[in-house]
Every structure is written in C-alpha cells, then in structure tokens.
Amino acid sequence: MSHAGDGHHVVRYELRESAAWIVLNRPEARNALSTEVVEGLRESLARAEHDPAARSVVLAGEGPMLCAGADLKMVLGRLDEDGALSAFLVSVGEVCMEIARHPKPVIAAVQGGVIAGGFELVQACDLVVATEDATFCDGHARYGLFPAAGGAVRLVRKIGMNRAKQLLFTAEPWSAEKLREAGLVNQVVPTGQLEPAVAALTERIGRHSGQGLAEMKRVMEHGADLPMAAALQLELDACRDYAARCPDFSEGLRAFSEQREPSFLR
C-alpha cells in the first residue's frame, strides 16, 4: 500500500493486480472534497497514468460512503476570501475533466452513495459499479446552490435531458438500480460484494491492450462532441495511426489467427 504523495494521506494510492485504486480516505468526513483531497486526486491520477503496471483506475472511498461532495466547513470558511471559493470550484471541475480524459479506463466503485460534487466525480468516470443500497443525489437545488463541475452538463449526456432535469430539479436521491436503468450505472451488486465485482472487472480490462483502450476512449470522448461525419473520420484516422504505430495491433491479429491469447505491451 502506498500513498499519493507527501501530505496527501487523505487520498490513498494502491496498486491491486493491474488496477490503480485511488481511495478517498476521509471517512470521518464522509470523504468530503477539500483542497487537499482534490490535490491528492490529481496527483494520484497522474501517477496512475504513468504507472506501467496499471491498466485501469478505480475511484473508491474508505468507509460507508464514496463522497458527500464539497467540504462545507471549508467552503463556508472561504466565502469572504477573494477568489478562494472560485479557485476551489475550478479545481474540482479540472479533476473531473482529468478523469474523463484519463487515458486509462476509470471505474467508480460506489458504496453508500454520492452527493453533489461526489456525484460529479462519478459522472466523469467511464464505468460505474454500485452497491444495491447506494444512492445518487445532486442536491444543489434544495439549498439554492448550483453545480460547477459538470453536474448540469455531463449528466445530460449520460442519462438524457428529461431524466437529468428531474434529478436536478427535484434534488431527490436516485437508487443505483434506477440509474442503471437510466444508463449511468453499469452494474449493481449486493452490499459487501463491491470490491470483488470491481476486481473482476479490472481483471477483465487488464487483459487488453492499454494503448488500444486509450485510443478507444479518446475517440469516444472526442467523437461525442463532433458531427457524425467528422466523428467517423476521427475514428478511421485513429485506427490507421494505431495500426501503424502500435505493435499490439499486429500482435492481436496474429493471436486471433493462431487461436491463442495475445501478449500485449505493458
């Protein structure tokens, strides 16, 4: 077990088999987002990107809840500081973007639930595995607040405009199963089975070409913002480039023709 860096004991970095687990480690505060947590997340994401042993990344939380959103004590203490609150909101938005653009698949392991900024972190992830008792709540509208890290934009792209409006406008929590039906949650598992389920998923992902998955993710993320013709051209160009420069492409073809498991680059 290793830490994200000096001074960031609030975020733990662990390499488990082929997955980098980034664990929010403030259970006494329901893993609320502070400046230190955000800095630890960013350092850990960068570390995972350059860790050759990591084929995927897991965002998890210590204790009964993944993340309760921003640390309200910290936020209230900064209301009178010029630019401090704005800088914090920008940093949360940036870490969500770093998750969405990370070259490795990022999986949210959701136990207990997520609220507001914690929910925005989950929305930025590629895959979401949640326990059957987990809840997902934006909550901003209830107190006259406003999302600032993708909650009013990314959620629409994940579950559609009407569902997103209902979730945001009512500020009501949604169950893991309801969000599975809506398309945000990929898998709902029994309470107590979260880590084994996520480990099985990362093991499966870990068999594949890291460079291939990175290109797939890049094309999907960028292509979603393009007109269809431009997105198709992006995909074709990426395939040509990947085939020309990455040995995993030819290795995969040989393995398929020889009916064996491929041996990809680490």
Strands 174-175 and 113-115: unpaired
The DSSP H or E segment spanning 19 is strand 19-24
Token pair, residue 102, equals 């990370």
pLDDT at 258: 92
Q: Which of 178, 173, 71 is CA-nearest to residue 132?
A: 178
Using CA atoms, how far apart are residues 70 and 181, in angstroms rounded to an integer?
27
Which CA distances in Å does 148 have to 20, 41, 69, 173, 207? 27, 18, 12, 19, 36
* Consecutive H or E run containing 2: strand 2-3
What is the average pLDDT across 128-155? Answer: 93
The pLDDT assigned to 108 comes to: 99
> What does the block give as tokens for 190?
């029994």
Give φ, ψ of 170 to 5 degrees: -85, -25
**In this predicted structure, what is the pLDDT of residue 7?**
38
What pLDDT is attached to residue 1? 40
Q: How confident is the model at residue 128, as a pLDDT?
A: 99
The domain at 2-206 falls in which architecture?
Alpha-Beta Complex (3.90)
User: In the chain, pLDDT over 90 holds for what percent of residues?
Assistant: 80
pLDDT digit string (tens) for 75-111?
Answer: 787 766 778 888 989 999 999 999 999 999 999 999 9
Quote the tokens at residue 41.
């997340």
* pLDDT attached to residue 79: 66
**What is the DSSP code (8-state) at residue 209?**
-
Q: What is the pLDDT of residues 200-246, one digit of tens each?
A: 999 999 999 999 999 999 999 999 999 999 999 999 999 999 999 99
